[in-house]
Chain A
């Protein structure tokens, strides 16, 4: 048991405790010496009274001194750090089994140290209810704390670290559930960056103490922490860029080589990273096959680092024979003044394989059924009935697809909520931009920095008619993150671009009825379509690789490289190891070590609201319990008692008689 002071400077107040005694000595009444023959009678009277008086006087002085000491200690912010081992309360050991626990330090894994520390702590809690939660994927636990430690020992012997982050917050929640009341939680961890993710010790329930046991760690580590491909939808026969982010979490520069592979194509890039640095390595590879392929980044190092598990990162991506676009419209396809023809022309010119649909069988189209190419981009324009599109679009966006919404009428505008934005204002008469506040016009120029608008830069004839137009399409609420917002000066076109679900959404507000429509004139759309594949279908690194320990929705079991089938639980499958998984439909799924697990640099225990101790030590420490409120209560009680006692004295101790 020990104490901590939150404001140690207040210890300077402690000498005040001597003040009552000093004041008493300085101001106490002097007895007048007198001769008194009848002293024997007085002595009989005073025999008991004087001793009681002396006792009471000293008690009052002691109370005052104690009250001042307590007040000073309260000002110090005294807190109690109690020993848990002797408390006899139930305890749950939470053993960090995340990927970082596999790091090698001085020839041994941190996991082995942590397991040994858990054994020692189980010894320390002998005779007391104890449980064990292994923070791995899947999580393992012994249940409620029991005095018999057999289950804890058995689980401890059987447990192994995983490749995920161990879900420390979930493990802590499981420990709290096991305790079901007051008790101690002993978290054994390597204090790596992700080891306490989601844990807020201050949010623990009353009566639960969290003890942190440091199992060591902090080794140097280099890792592949990210993998991506550009564009998001890879097209066979076209060059694709594979990107890998490599990080050096060591304290010295590292010279590395990165091998990037996509299908049968590969390349090696040398790299030197300073301590604590990271860099993105790019490799342009031409994919020669279609279908699901694995892409891979592998770290080739001169010497092994602390955690080999994260030196290789695998992703899965589908290569399509061509980038397909589906134009859904009820407008006349042959009308040269209509919206469909310029759209098809512009998209085709941008290299997209364009199909046109009236909405019938849209779901099958979007799913690529019948051997048709699954469209990466859906364009809706001049719809008469938005219902079929409304039903099918969310699935398309959830799959990472892009959607170009060309608003030509109210039915088109009514689909705005699918993308998560309010419908634009109804189309009407052209707006006199000159009537708008000039201060808001600057936005138009600013938005030219957006990649989608890059082709407009330098085209002065077009830019002359560009003006910001916040009046009609002011994004608010959920649409506040819209990336682009501008309109032509005649008020016929507005543009907005933003993420929608897992995909991208581009809204083009045009008026084909207007004779001077830039859309109809075919000047704007080709420029926009040129950048559509790069902007609307961006790199989808989050789609290439998922974190080990995460769950993915699945209609059926996944099979790993060894043929092991992962069961479906509640409609999802837990990815428990890094590598490739194949779904029933042939699609591939990749899982990798969470990037945060590669950062083995340690959290500073001194900056936590916890006290960490070395795993080799069984010194038990708990979180601080503030004592100052109790001290203030004690001060109040002591002053009350002092009033009672001093009231019976012939004069206030240390004071003068009234």
Chain B
């Protein structure tokens, strides 16, 4: 039986506690930030040794000193992590709720990043960007982020394209952007804002969190009068068993489109179910990132 690692009460202390447990689990034997950017800066030279990659030879230095020298670099470690958490009304769904799962995951990622010396920003919003924190680091900064996360109550309709536009305007330099959302929008509407972020050098990742009833419509629901929490779609009465085949196929197409969209932006995509343990979902995802 899997222990649920998402706190029921959305207060900062519970959130931190849950996130800390997750991070401890993720930490074991790892000393390198999973959010390190691909940008690098020159460090020094060393003498060429047989077997070194000739492309790493500093030919200009060879010309000056007549010694084969290999250029050495160190990674650009101060690329900040920006966690974008969707707080639209649709996130307040499921047990545990998508919003709770998203907050827990965001808190865990923030802790993980800060613990490894990275700086973190947190952006929350539904139709627009409601709040975006400054870059924080250290335990105190994380506490502020957790307070901000706990205060982000899901409400209102979602407008992810606009939110991402706002975000792009607010980011002054290159970052690693992790969007945590249910992505229940037409993928095509996200192509422009995500493309713009990618074009500015931001590294993109999306954690798409959905309830399992959203991934596969339960036939056992039977005749149901369904209402959209965001009010964007008119209420509908239907027989779930009859609608299930069509819905499931449509949802799979949507998920595939989301994956393709992120891939087109050189980002990666994680589909998570609220029934899944946050640590398991993030652990697998982080491992995949490190291998890239």
* Known A32-B223, A32-B225, A657-B222; contact A37-B250, beta-carbon cutoff 8 A: no
Taking A37-B182, A49-B243, A53-B242 as contacts, is the C-beta distance between A42 and B236 under 8 angstroms?
yes
Determine if A37 and B224 form an interchain contact, defined as CB atoms under 8 angstroms apart: no
Assign chain B's interface to a size class: 35 or more
Residues of B within 8 A of A30 (CB): 223
Question: Which residues of chain A have C-beta atoms less than 8 A from B232's C-beta?
Answer: 40
* With known contacts A33-B227, A35-B227, A45–B243 Cβ distance under 8 A: yes
Q: Which of B91, B222, B228, B239 contacts A36 (CB 8 A)?
A: B228
A49 and B242 contacting across the interface, CB-CB below 8 Å: yes
| A36, B246: Cβ atoms closer than 8 Å | no
Most chain B Cβ neighbours within 10 Å, of A33, A41, A53: A41
- Chain B residues within 8 Å of A49, by CB: 238, 242-243, 246
Measured CB to CB, the nearest residue on chain A to B158 is: A37
| Min CB–CB distance A106 → chain B (angstroms) | 75
B226 at the interface (CB under 8 A from A): yes
Q: Which chain A residue shows the least CB distance to B253? A: A41
Interface secondary structure of B, over-half rule = mixed
Chain A residues contacting B90 (CB-CB under 8 Å) are 37
CB distance from B227 to the nearest CB of A (A): 6
B259 in the interface (beta carbon within 8 A): no
- Residues from chain A with a CB closer than 8 A to the CB of B228 are 35-37, 39-40
Judge if A180 is at the interface, Cβ distance under 8 Å: no
6 nearest A-B residue pairs (beta carbon): A37-B90, A45-B246, A31-B225, A39-B228, A650-B239, A36-B226
Q: Are B247 and A42 in contact (CB under 8 A)?
A: yes
* Contacting residues, chain B, for A33 (C-beta < 8 A): 224-227
Count of interface residues, chain A, beta-carbon cutoff 8 Å: 24
- Please name all residues of chain B whose beta carbon is closer than 8 Å to the beta carbon of A42 when the two chains form the complex: 217, 226, 236, 238, 243, 247
Nearest-CB distance from A36 to chain B (Å)?
Answer: 4
Q: Is the pair B226, A35 in contact by a Cβ cutoff of 8 Å?
A: yes
Query: A34–B225 contact, CB under 8 A?
Result: yes
Q: Tell me the residues in window 188-242 of chain B with beta carbons closer than 8 Å to chain A beta carbons.
A: 210, 213-214, 217, 221-230, 232-239, 241-242
* Chain A residues, CB < 8 A from B247: 38, 41-42, 45
* Complex Cα–Cα for A41 and B186 (A): 10
B184 at the interface (CB under 8 A from A): yes
B233 in complex: contacting residue of A40, A651, A657, CB < 8 Å: A40
A-B contact pairs, 26 of them (CB 8 A): A29-B222, A30-B223, A31-B237, A33-B224, A34-B225, A34-B226, A35-B228, A35-B229, A36-B227, A37-B89, A37-B90, A37-B91, A37-B93, A37-B229, A38-B210, A39-B226, A39-B233, A40-B228, A41-B254, A42-B226, A43-B233, A43-B236, A45-B243, A46-B238, A50-B237, A657-B222
Query: What residues of chain A lie closer than 8 Å to B182, measured between beta carbons?
Result: 37
With A36-B226, A39-B228, A651-B239 known, 18 other A-B pairs at CB within 8 A are A32-B221, A32-B222, A32-B225, A34-B226, A36-B213, A36-B224, A36-B228, A37-B90, A37-B182, A37-B228, A39-B226, A40-B232, A41-B247, A42-B236, A42-B243, A45-B247, A46-B238, A650-B241
Residues of A close to B251: CB separation below 8 A? 38, 41
Chain B residues in 8 Å Cβ range of A43: 233-234, 236
- State whether A35 touches B93 (Cβ < 8 A): yes
| A49–B222 CA distance with the chains assembled, in angstroms | 15
* A46 vs B236: C-alpha distance when bound (angstroms): 9
Give Cα distance in the complex from A33 to B91, angstroms: 19
The smallest C-beta distance from B244 to any residue of chain A, in angstroms, reads 9
Of A38, A41, A45, A53, which is in contact with the most chain B CB atoms at under 10 Å from its CB? A38
For A303, list chain B residues within 8 Å (CB): none
> Contacting B223 at CB < 8 Å: which of A31, A39, A40?
A31
Residues on A with beta carbons closer than 8 Å to the beta carbon of B243: 42, 45-46, 49
Which of chain B's residues has its CB closest to A44's CB?
B250
Residue numbers in B under 8 Å from A41 (CB-CB): 247, 250-251, 254
- Fill in one digit per residue for A384-408: 1 if any B CB lies within 8 Å of its CB, else 0: 0000000000000000000000000
Within 8 A of B (CB), among A428-445: none
Q: Which residues of A contact B229 (CB under 8 A)?
A: 35-37
Contact residues of A: prevailing secondary structure: mixed
Evaluate whether A34 and B224 lie within 8 angstroms (CB atoms) in the complex, with A40-B233, A41-B247 already known: yes
Annotate A80-110 by CB proximity to B: 1 below 8 A, 0 otherwise.
0000000000000000000000000000000
Contacts of B222 in A (CB 8 A): 29, 32, 657
Contact indicator per residue, chain A 646-658, by CB within 8 Å of chain B (1) or not (0)? 0000110000010
Residue of B nearest to A28 (CB): B223
Tell me which residues from 351 to 382 in chain A have a Cβ below 8 Å from any Cβ of chain B.
Answer: none
Q: How distant is the Cα of A12 from the Cα of B129 in the complex, in angstroms?
A: 70
Interface residue ranges of A34-75 to B (CB < 8 Å): 34-46, 49-50, 53
* Mask of B249-266 contacts with A, CB within 8 angstroms, 1/0: 011001000000000000
**Separation of A53 and B239 alpha carbons in the complex (Å):** 10
* CB-based nearest A residue for B215: A38
A37, A46, A657 — which one has the most chain B CB atoms within 10 A of its CB? Answer: A37
Q: Which of B162-206 contact A (CB under 8 A)?
A: 182, 184
CB distance from A38 to the nearest CB of B (A): 5
Write the nearest CB–CB distance from A83 to chain B, whole angstroms.
50
Bound form: Cα–Cα A30–B217 in Å: 19
Do residues B227 and A39 form an inter-chain contact, with CB atoms below 8 A? yes
Q: State the CA gap A29–B224 with chains docked (Å).
A: 10
Q: Tell me the minimal C-beta distance from A397 to chain B in angstroms.
A: 93
Residues A31 and B184 in contact in the complex (CB < 8 Å), given A42-B247, A49-B242, A650-B239? no
- Give the chain A neighbours of B89 by CB distance below 8 A: 37
The docked-state distance in angstroms from the alpha carbon of A45 to that of B233 is 13
- Shortest CB-to-CB span from A350 to chain B, Å, is 108
Complex Cα spacing A448 to B243, Å = 100
The smallest C-beta distance from B205 to any residue of chain A, in angstroms, reads 22
Contact of B184 among A29, A38, A45, A651 (CB under 8 A): A38
Q: Are A37 and B242 in contact (CB under 8 A)?
A: no
A32 to B223, CA, bound (A): 6
Which chain A residue lies CB-closest to B210?
A38
Report the nearest A residue to B211, measured CB to CB: A37
Residue among A34, A39, A40, A53 with the most chain B CB within 10 A? A39
Residues of B within 8 A of A32 (CB): 221-225
Q: Collect the chain A residues with CB atoms within 8 Å of residue B93's CB.
A: 35-37
In the bound complex, what is the Cα–Cα distance between A36 and B226 (angstroms)? 6
Most chain-B CB neighbours within 10 Å: which of A36, A44, A53, A657?
A36
B254 to chain A, nearest CB (A): 7
**Chain B residues within an 8 Å CB radius of A46:** 236, 238, 243, 246
Give the complex CA separation of A575 and B11 in angstroms.
Answer: 125
Chain B, 65-95, CB within 8 A of any chain A CB: 89-91, 93
Complex interface residues of chain A between 13 and 40 (CB less than 8 A to chain B): 29-40
Q: Which residues of B contact A29 (CB under 8 A)?
A: 222-223
A363 to chain B, nearest CB (A): 102
Residue from the set B227, B235, B243 with the largest chain A CB neighbour count within 10 Å: B243
Q: How far is the CA of A38 from the CA of B184 in the complex (A)?
A: 7
The answer to whether B238 touches A37, judged by C-beta atoms less than 8 angstroms apart, is no
Q: Could you say which residues of chain B place their CB within 8 Å of the CB of A36?
A: 93, 213-214, 224, 226-229
User: A47: nearest residue on chain B (CB-CB)?
Assistant: B236
Among candidates A34, A53, A657, residue contacting B227 with C-beta atoms closer than 8 Å? A34
